[in-house]
Structure 1
Amino acid sequence: MPAPQPSDNLPAIDPIITDEEFEAAVPDIDPADDPALGEPLESIEAFERRFADEGAAAPTTEGAAPPLGDPALADGDPVEEIGDAPIRDAELAAPLPPLQNFEATPVEFADNAEDDAIVEVAYDVRVEGLEAADAETGTAIAAAFDNLSALEAGDGEAANVAQLAARLTEDSALLQRMLASEGWYEAAVTTRIDRSDAPSGQPLIAVLSVAPGDRFVFSDIVIDADPVEPADLIAKNFALKVGEPIIAERVQGAEANLAVRLPENGYPFATVGQRDILLDQDTNDGVYTLPIDIGPRSRFGGIETTGNQAFDAAHIAVLARFERGDLYDSRDIDDLRQALVATGLFNTISVVPQRTGEAVGDGTEYTTVLVEQDAGPPRTLAGSAGFGTGQGFRLEGSWTHRNLFPPEGALIANVVAGTQEQGAGLTFRRANAGRRDRTFQLRADALRSDFAAFEAFTGQLSALISYDSTPIWQKPLTYAYGVRLIGTNEQDYDFDLGQLNRRTFFIGGLTGQLGIDRTDSLVDATRGFRVTTLVEPEGSLQGGFTPYVRARLDASAYYSATDSIVLAGRVRLGTIQGIERFDLAPSRRFYAGGGGSVRGFGFQELGPKVEIANPDFDPADPEDKDSPTIFRPIGGLSMNELAAEVRYRFGNFGVVGFVDAGQVYEGTTPDFSSLQYGAGIGARYYTNFGPLRLDVAIPLERQPGESNIAVYVSIGQAF
């Protein structure tokens, strides 16, 4: 379209002067009066040539010399080119010196004048007007502000007033955000810096003045979702109510709770959308709207697995606590993921639901559980160490292939190298054998023991099925049962001969164990109780069959007196029925004393003893300070032990005071007579796998042949 003319659609403007006034002010110019006015302008070249021919200088402003002088005098050319203009300053015509010869005088700065004025400022912080808001939140805002405040973090010192003002501005914005998060959306925070009454004016006072205004509340809550089953599933799991303040933390918590509860109740694909809160500043309330896509209600279908597999889907089903057709529950998925991690066979593992679209027929559909595996290295080297008075050092190392016989069929080789024990063993162990957390184990051991009570060369074959607690799942009820064959050659004291004598024993037997655990931790309990019973029907196989029963009861209890003090107690009772002590292999008798028994005494030091000649004593050496005789424990058919501890923990460290008591008896019934006591103190260093323990104890009313002091080092509490 054509461009608009100047007059098109433009508003009328009054002229500054009229046309008549303008024409009257301009003088008349008539070319007839001056013929030159009608001629065209001459060029610059013609202008310069004309003045050169006339021998006169070109006109200049107020008599100044022409800028280029006389062009004819420069090079004889009356028409001067710009590039040929003469240079009046010889320095400008001279060539530039080389860069390396260029001299530059450094710039000298004047010395800064010292400022003796005080730069750093001290300040206090005062918050005004927050009382009304904190009365409703229980001082939560003031406490949170103290933790996050830039002013408080500055510890009352600033580099200058500008820094103080910046912190004050930052804290003003912080307070407004905090108030808004608690429902005060129209809160106003003003700031100022006051001088104190001190002569120096310091400390300055950083003041935040708060005007909270009215608190906004929910006037309506709208959940935009399809119907669910049960019908009140969303309502009973959504904590927000009409009329309560609009608090950001409660809003987020309510939404997060729905995101958790829906998958726990059959909706694995439910998603919580973006909330909308429409605030009305006239009524100080808000309408809350939350969209939720609940997805299909689902039941567990099959299990599929992909990736670098340690075992197949059939074994995963053994670990799962759900069956096909069960209503979907995300807690079962989390539990399966933890069980897979606990096998120790994976670098990474993921367990996620997948839609199938396959209808069940009751308004639900099957959901496949997809397990993505990435098998890790199956071999492990491990070691442990400990020390106890009377027992010496004990080192144990093991090599394990955790999946040599899939699924979860492990081969374990272990070696013991200690002051008084040396041996080796080989174990086949299948974890989760036909049932989750059930273990089947075959074991062969060869061991040499050289204790104060006996010396033995022992070989053992055993099979055991157990249902035990693990570091991930502490079970309230555990059990174990199995069979054992033992062949052992042992040194024992023969009362008829009055000397030590070697005998060989062949023993066959069963074992059964039942445990109840109501504590809060396997390795460092602070409350609850634990009871374990062990029953071992056995029989001596040489010269016929002589049956007998070994039984033991262990119980312990824990009480948290304060957050840092735990009171702990333990009792152990044991009895052997159906056999005389002499007919029982020394290694199968009861003994007491040591780090896991009665501290203050050496390993197996308590109980009946016999006095025998000391094989280390040399009567021909007058400087031999060994006793000519020693007291050798011979074990008993019953025993009891008692222990009490006070455990005090501070950070990762702890101190333990303890008193232990116990005795071993020749008879089959422990009668709590002749108890011997040990007392001491211990140190603990708490790690993520349990406390490291160092205990030092002394025997009370020490008997001949007993230790003066005992030291124990190991991992874990004494009980």
Structure 2
Amino acid sequence: MFPQRGDFPGPQIHHRCFVSVLCCVFALLSGCATIKTENKRKTPRVIWSVEFEGRNDRGQKVPLKMSQSRLLQAIENVPTPRLVRWTRLRLTGRFSLEKSRRIFKSDLERVKQLYRYYGYYNAKPRFVLEEDKTTLTYENAYRNYQRSKVILYVNEGKRVTVDKLEIDIQPKNHPQIKEIKAQLRKLALTKGGFFSTPDYRLSKGQIQKRLQDLSFALVKVRGQVIVDKEPSNPTAEIKLIVRPGPRCSFGGLQFIGNKRVKKELLRYLISFKKGQLYKVQALIDSQRVLSALGLFSTQDFKPQLDEVRKARSGPCYVPPDSKRYRASKGLCPIPIKLELYEDQFQSIKVGAGFVIDGQRNQIQLGINWTWLHVFQGLDTLTLDAKPGLAFLPDIFRQYDVGPDATVSLSFKRPILSINAEYGARLLYRYASQVGSADFQTLSPSTWFSLPILKKLNLRVSWNVEVAFGVQNPLTLERENYVLDYFEQQLVLDLRDDILRTTKGIFFSLSLQEAGLFGGKFSYFKVSPEFRFFIPLPAGMVLAGRLQYGLMFSSRNFTPEEQQEVSERDALLAPEERRVLEIVRRSPLTQRFFTGGANSVRGGTARFLGPLACQIRSQQPLTQGTTSTGRVGNQTGGIVRRIGQRDSVARAVPGAGQRYAGARCQSEAAEVARSRFGDLASRRSGLPQGVYPGSLGIPSDAVLQVIPMGGEHLMLGSLELRIPLSFILSSFGAVLFVDAGLVQLVPRIFNDAGELAEDLRPSVSVGGGIRYHLSFGAIRVDLAWKLFPDSLRYPLQQGFEVHLSFGESF
């Protein structure tokens, strides 16, 4: 008899079964663990390199026609990056790329698809995994690993050629069939040429784009490819079926998303109108115009082609199986939807920058506030503030520190009916110069801009400049003046990209006329500029610039001022009198200057040209102050003497001439001797065993060189811009040569009939590095002077380093 349920208590039976099962599991796990510990641990295998080799049918090595970069992108078994080799492998040993056979099979399939994509239908790839026999184990690693090398052998075979190319236009009796056939020539695929999937897709896209440019918006292109994989001669037969459909026009325009910008303003900006022939380029141009406004984060034109194709009657209906063309009355209208998403109309931008130069170091803060669509007329109000601090060194690298700030308020508004623009600006500037040559200007202006042709623009402006405290660098006199002038600027811009130009030309012509309504100064100024950009192989660009400037000026003196000037200049030498007359007759702010990061990079900013030298010193003064004091029963005045120092400047004669540099250098030597003489006397007066420590330079006399500018400018630059995409796509290098000169007045010969000394240009060569961003380039340039002239340009070093933003031109 078998025991029945209930003869034994249930909990006892469950307890015994559970203990038995637990013991069995523990024993099994113990045995597995023992087996695992007895197995020898394998060294992790790392794919150290991947090689590609071509093979023919005989197994001989042949060069590959497919680029190795494409093959490397197609496979998953990529080599270990170098940075990983020296970090994760060397320090932690946690990076292993041992792939399974399944991964290798999938890689082979991807390689086959890659070859078929480019027309190699008989390609036979195979992988071989080899161990690196040189160092199987990397002894210096914390955890040993084994290097492996993957070799991909490929028998590419012959490439497929196009044996037959047929283009079938349906229907056969289309009224514009001759015009359509003319657009089907010179496609990417040609009879007798090689076949590839990219060329096949490109040919279909070329047909569709060309017919859409002929207003066939509903065009359809279908294709059929038959490939014969005969190893000795693989061929392809291609048939393209083209259904142009009816000719189309622009239909109604529907706006979606615009809330604050009126539809009437947008219609002025859009280049196409209802009823015009359909053109894809018109949609692209309109989208570009709306994007330039800055009012919308997204602007997207969407032709409703799918809805039009659903039509079953009317001029847009085309039966799918029609063999004969059915003439329709009128054009097929294509409705357009314009989706707009308005951006923030007000924005604030803050930035900072600095300038490091041989004669001027400056830090600057930039604040920009922009308000778009101010008065509901697509207008723009902009406030720019650039406060800064300038550090101007002298010969002993003692710095003259002063503020340098620019503040501008500008307004512009388009005239949509004639595609023009007008605006106004108020500019304030505090310019920090060496010594006491600081000055301030307040300049209101108004302008009008009109496009003459598609890329040719004319800008006319009227400007007023109110200057305060402008110092004459020769006589150290200060004056205030009001200057008004008209300016016309003609600009032809055919560059492909303003920020990162690779091809095109740029030409500008600027004219200025001052003194038409009176004032102290009258002048005529002309300045043409030409730039060219030529693309070269390997992504290089040859860029050049030529600039010329000429100024004719005169000073309007009153009779009293003329007599005073004549009496004062009677004691000067003829050459010094001539230079002083030229400097007086033109305003300092309108002369030509050169040198610096954006012109001749071998010189410091604005310092390649006529210069003036000044000796500035601190002279002691004595002031007396009187106060009331009481001694006993007597009350009287007590005089206290306070020692103070006053800044006195003295101009070195001969400015603007070649020998002026020699005079500056002799004066500099005299200043140096006085400084070190004071230092020696101060040291000799100290008690024995006492040292001066950090006394600095005791004398307060300094030599300062001040640029004067001139009325004649010639400038030229040539650059070879080289991309460094193998390092990073944003990196680039530049090799350049610059040449330029500035004269007080244009002259070829001096009074003695010899070639003018200031006609010889300053030439510099060098190189630089560029890091391109979406809004410009950060650049570092190092330039050396060729044939330095210390007599013309004293206190200048043989090389200059410039760190700046944006290309030089």
Match of 2:805 in 1: 715
Which runs of structure 2 are paired with 1:450-469 in the superposition (5 Å)?
450-452=432-434, 454-466=437-449
Distance 1:503 1:459 in 2: 15
Which runs of structure 2 are paired with 1:246-265 in the superposition (5 Å)?
247-265=196-214
Does 2:739 match 1:653? no
Match of 2:546 in 1: 571
Identity %: 18
Distance 2:193 2:720 in 1: 47
Does 2:790 match 1:702? yes
Instruction: Provide closer, same or farther for how the CA distance between residues 359 and 524 of structure 1 changes in structure 2, counting only shifts above 3 A.
Output: same
1:377 positional shift: 0.5
Match of 2:743 in 1: 665
Distance 1:320 1:179 in 2: 46
Would the aligned equivalents of 2:534 and 2:543 in 1 still touch at CA under 8 Å? yes
Does 2:373 match 1:403? yes
Instruction: Provide closer, same or farther for how the CA distance between residues 430 and 247 of structure 1 changes in structure 2, counting only shifts above 3 A.
Output: same
Does 2:608 match 1:584? no
Would the aligned equivalents of 2:446 and 2:461 in 1 still touch at CA under 8 Å? yes
Distance 2:284 2:736 in 1: 41
Which runs of structure 2 are paired with 1:385-424 in the superposition (5 Å)?
385-389=353-357, 390-393=359-362, 394-419=364-389, 421-424=404-407
Residue-by-residue CA offset, 1:402-449 (whole Å, 9 max, x unaligned): 22123320011111212353232211112575455x432211122222
Match of 1:630 among 704, 723, 741: 704
Give the aligned residue type for 2:30.
E
SS at match of 2:265: helix
SS at match of 1:461: strand
Structure 2 unaligned residues grouped into runs of 5+ = 82-94, 137-146, 317-327, 390-402, 556-581, 622-644, 646-674, 679-696, 750-755
Match of 1:639 in 2: 713
Would the aligned equivalents of 2:111 and 2:125 in 1 still touch at CA under 8 Å? no
Match of 1:111 among 28, 35, 51: 35
1:633 positional shift: 3.2
Would the aligned equivalents of 1:506 and 1:541 in 2 still touch at CA under 8 Å? no
Instruction: Provide closer, same or farther for how the CA distance between residues 521 and 145 of structure 1 changes in structure 2, counting only shifts above 3 A.
Output: closer
1:108 positional shift: 1.0
Does 2:534 match 1:537? no
Match of 1:378 among 345, 357, 362: 345
SS at match of 2:373: coil
Give the aligned residue type for 1:550.
K
* Bigger RCO (CA 8 Å, 6+ sep): 2
Match of 1:364 among 322, 325, 331: 331
State the structure with more CA Rg: 1
After superposing the two structures, state which structure 1 stretch, 506-515 or 100-109, moved more. 100-109
Distance 2:199 2:602 in 1: 56
Instruction: Provide closer, same or farther for how the CA distance between residues 183 and 509 of structure 1 changes in structure 2, counting only shifts above 3 A.
Output: closer
Match of 2:12 among 91, 94, 104: 94
Distance 2:618 2:724 in 1: 46
Distance 1:600 1:205 in 2: 52
Would the aligned equivalents of 2:216 and 2:246 in 1 still touch at CA under 8 Å? yes
Q: TM-score, normalised by structure 1?
A: 0.70
Instruction: Provide closer, same or farther for how the CA distance between residues 354 and 263 of structure 1 changes in structure 2, counting only shifts above 3 A.
Output: same
Match of 2:526 in 1: 551
SS at match of 1:254: helix
Would the aligned equivalents of 2:269 and 2:416 in 1 still touch at CA under 8 Å? no
Instruction: Provide closer, same or farther for how the CA distance between residues 98 and 673 of structure 1 changes in structure 2, counting only shifts above 3 A.
Output: farther
Match of 2:74 among 148, 166, 169: 148
Does 2:282 match 1:332? yes
Match of 2:579 in 1: none
Distance 2:539 2:159 in 1: 44
Match of 1:63 in 2: none
Which runs of structure 2 are paired with 1:427-576 in the superposition (5 Å)?
427-431=410-414, 433-436=416-419, 438-452=420-434, 454-466=437-449, 476-493=455-472, 499-526=475-502, 529-539=505-515, 541=517, 547-558=522-533, 563=538, 566-576=541-551
Match of 1:426 in 2: 409
Distance 2:53 2:708 in 1: 78
Distance 2:737 2:191 in 1: 60
Would the aligned equivalents of 1:218 and 1:245 in 2 still touch at CA under 8 Å? no
Give the aligned residue type for 1:701.
D
- What is the aligned-residue RMSD (CA, Å)? 5.0
Distance 2:153 2:784 in 1: 64
Residue-by-residue CA offset, 1:649-673 (whole Å, 9 max, x unaligned): 4233344454544333232557774
Would the aligned equivalents of 2:450 and 2:458 in 1 still touch at CA under 8 Å? yes
Instruction: Provide closer, same or farther for how the CA distance between residues 381 and 217 of structure 1 changes in structure 2, counting only shifts above 3 A.
Output: same
SS at match of 1:251: helix
1:152 positional shift: 7.7
Would the aligned equivalents of 1:616 and 1:626 in 2 still touch at CA under 8 Å? yes
Residue-by-residue CA offset, 1:296-326 (whole Å, 9 max, x unaligned): 3112345442323453343334333445544
Distance 1:487 1:404 in 2: 29
Instruction: Provide closer, same or farther for how the CA distance between residues 68 and 430 of structure 1 changes in structure 2, counting only shifts above 3 A.
Output: same
Residue-by-residue CA offset, 1:61-93 (whole Å, 9 max, x unaligned): xxxxxx449xxxxxxxxxxxx657x66xxx878
1:713 positional shift: 2.6
1:209 positional shift: 8.6
Structure 1 unaligned residues grouped into runs of 5+ = 1-66, 70-81
1:391 positional shift: 4.2
Residue-by-residue CA offset, 1:87-125 (whole Å, 9 max, x unaligned): 6xxx87836459999994434123333358999699987
Instruction: Provide closer, same or farther for how the CA distance between residues 267 and 491 of structure 1 changes in structure 2, counting only shifts above 3 A.
Output: same
Which runs of structure 2 are paired with 1:673-692 in the superposition (5 Å)?
673-674=757-758, 675=760, 677=762, 679=764, 681-692=767-778
Residue-by-residue CA offset, 1:314-372 (whole Å, 9 max, x unaligned): 33343334455442111221221122122221122111234789979964233343322
Would the aligned equivalents of 1:319 and 1:435 in 2 still touch at CA under 8 Å? no
Instruction: Provide closer, same or farther for how the CA distance between residues 395 and 475 of structure 1 changes in structure 2, counting only shifts above 3 A.
Output: farther
Distance 1:214 1:681 in 2: 45
Would the aligned equivalents of 2:54 and 2:156 in 1 still touch at CA under 8 Å? no
Distance 2:528 2:199 in 1: 50
Would the aligned equivalents of 1:184 and 1:216 in 2 still touch at CA under 8 Å? no
